[in-house]
Amino acid sequence: MAESASNIQGKKIAAGICGILLGALGIHKFILGKTVPGIIMLLISVLSLGFLSVIPGIIGLIEGIIYLVKSDEEFYNTYIVGKKNWF
């Protein structure tokens, strides 16, 4: 692994919690360095004045749970090395 185990675990936990709590704003995407998906989620929430924020909110909730359930190695391989953007 190119990154330290504690750094990966920190990103995983931070992204998971932010995905669950702030998923509609895409904060968890920015934590993982996924700026385009983060901007998409943020713009959907902001430009719709919150009316469509339920969609990225549900996505964030699901992704947050997925991040926290995966092992550190699986998280690293999927989201850091594999650069998977969604789910």
Give the whole-number percent of the chain exceeding pLDDT 70: 98
**For residues 36-54, average pLDDT:** 95
Distance separating alpha carbons of residues 48 and 83, to the nearest angstrom: 28
Residue with tokens 């996505």: 59
2: confidence class by pLDDT, cuts 50, 70, 90: low
Where do the structural domains in the chain lie, given as residue ranges?
5-80
